[in-house]
Amino acid sequence: MKRQILLLSFCITVAGMFSCQQPDPANKRSGQSDPESQSTQDPVDDYHGQPISVLDPRVSGTDSMVFVFYTDPYTKDSLRYTRYYTSYHSKDTNHLSVLMKALQDDTERFSKPKPCRNEGKIWCFREGTVLQTIYFSTRQPGCHFIYFIKNGQFYFSSLPSSLEVLLGSLKKLAVEEPNQGKD
């Protein structure tokens, strides 16, 4: 009896391991490739871009934003550059309009982030609750984008000039948040 239980346990374990290794049949039927086999710079599959506003419709309910600008995003310390920042809080409908227009552009989906540092992020709020975080980089040529993360995938879109101008003007107005634990 003990031997049968051990054998049954072994069979279930082995079957479970093999079932985890099977490719997604939906991807096979549609001809999509395995996302894990793609490089960082190649889109995950033949995904045809949808705007961030479609991928996460909650952003259309944004009523306020916090624009966060990293103090030194290009420091040698690649792990801690996000630790110090300035921020600008806004409920300005003009700022919101510029952001919402930027979120209408089509995206490309990647399984890993691009090898570029973010210069900051935008927290989108509705009634005090964070809806989404949008990251940005204004560096040219290959690091000029906005993106967000959904289900472990990275959705990149180009950075429109109107949002780039807004970010530049708000960065000058941003203030350092207290208690950042400066060394």
CATH code where residue 105 lies: 3.30.1490
- Decide if 122 contacts 164 (C-beta within 8 A): no
Give me the pLDDT at residue 147, please: 95
The per-residue pLDDT of the chain, averaged, comes to 79
Query: What whole-number percentage of the chain has pLDDT above 90?
Result: 53
The residues that bridge with 148 in the sheet, in sequence order, are 155
- Reply yes or no: is the peptide bond before residue 113 cis, omega within 30 of 0: no
Q: Which residue has the higher pLDDT, 9 or 17?
A: 9
Q: Give me the mean pLDDT over the 75-79 stretch.
A: 78
Q: Report pLDDT for 25.
A: 38
Residues 131/61, Cβ–Cβ less than 8 Å: yes
Q: Which residue segment(s) compose the domain that 172 sits in?
A: 49-176
Lowest mean pLDDT among 22-31, 75-84, 141-150, 151-160: 22-31
Residue 15 has pLDDT above 60, yes or no: no
Residues 6 or more apart whose Cβ sits within 8 Å of residue 172: none
Average of per-residue pLDDT across 79-83: 81
User: Would you say residue 125 lies in a domain?
Assistant: yes
In the 8-state DSSP scheme, what is residue 121? E
3-class secondary structure, 64: strand
Degrees to nearest 5, angle at CA 138 with 119 and 114: 75
Tens-digit pLDDT profile for residues 126-145: 999 999 999 999 987 789 99
Residue 34 located in a structural domain: no
- The model's confidence at residue 182, banded by pLDDT at 50, 70 and 90, is low
> Does residue 7 form part of some domain?
no
Residue 65 falls inside a structural domain:
yes
pLDDT band at 81 (very low <50, low <70, confident <90, very high): confident
Q: CB neighbours of 72 closer than 8 A, spacing ≥ 6?
A: 81, 84
Q: What is the pLDDT of residue 160?
A: 95
- Determine, yes or no, domain membership for 62: yes
Residue 138, both tokens? 């204004």
80 pLDDT tier (thresholds 50, 70, 90): confident
pLDDT at residue 22 above 50?
A: no
Taken in order 18, 24, 26, 27, the sign of the CA dihedral is negative
Asked whether residue 26 is domain-assigned, the answer is no
Whether 37 is in a domain gets the answer no
- Residue 120 vs residue 72, higher pLDDT: 120
* Nearest Cα residue to 63 out of 132, 141, 121: 132
Strands 175-176 and 85-90, bridge-based pairing: antiparallel
Q: Flag whether 73 is in a domain.
A: yes
Total count of domains within the chain:
1
Instruction: Kindly state the tokens that stand for 141.
Output: 């040529």
